[in-house]
Amino acid sequence: MHELSIAQSIMERVEAIRVEHEAPGIASVQLQVGTLSGVDPYALEMAFTVAVEGTLYADTRWDIQRIPASVDCRSCGKTTTPDGPFPICMSCDSTDIEIAAGRELMIETIEVDRDEESNNV
């Protein structure tokens, strides 16, 4: 499962940040997943429930935010939002496009589990 290895690599990055902040745990993690990132947010959510089992992230809330795609078309000059996983212009169906948004797969915010302190990364 593709998403499981993604979930594990995200957990590794969160773990590095947790250690850096000497926090005993992580309350919540907000992730941004673009609709063109090739990652299915629902599959990723499922992957986290598997990946956190038996770890100190078992109680962490994984908040997955979908980022809608935005592509700039080089053929007709319009900016559109593809509604599928493929980057095409919704106006003229051209694939000669520049992806402006939607490929994100990143950690937006991490809330550490210490004195309700929160850190933006």
Residue closer to Zn ion, measured from CB, 66 or 87: 87
Contact 119, 110 (CB under 8 A): yes
Q: How many CB atoms lie within 10 A of CB 79?
A: 15
Residue closer to Zn ion, measured from CB, 87 or 114: 87
Q: How far is the CB of 73 from Zn ion (least distance, A)?
A: 3
Residue closer to Zn ion, measured from CB, 30 or 79: 79
User: Which residues would be at the binding site for Zn ion (CB under 5 A)?
Assistant: 73, 75-76, 89, 91-92, 94
* Category of 103 on φ-ψ map: left (φ > 0), alpha (ψ -120 to 50) or beta: alpha
**What is the spatial distance between Cα 74 and Cα 98, in angstroms, rounded to a whole number?**
7
Kindly tell me the burial class for residue 107, based on how many C-beta atoms sit within 10 Å of its own C-beta (0-12, 13-18, 19 or more): middle
Q: How far is the CB of 97 from Zn ion (least distance, A)?
A: 7
Which pairing describes strands 70-73 and 97-101: parallel, antiparallel, or unpaired?
antiparallel
Q: How far is the CB of 12 from Zn ion (least distance, A)?
A: 39
Q: How far is the CB of 89 from Zn ion (least distance, A)?
A: 3
Residue closer to Zn ion, measured from CB, 89 or 112: 89
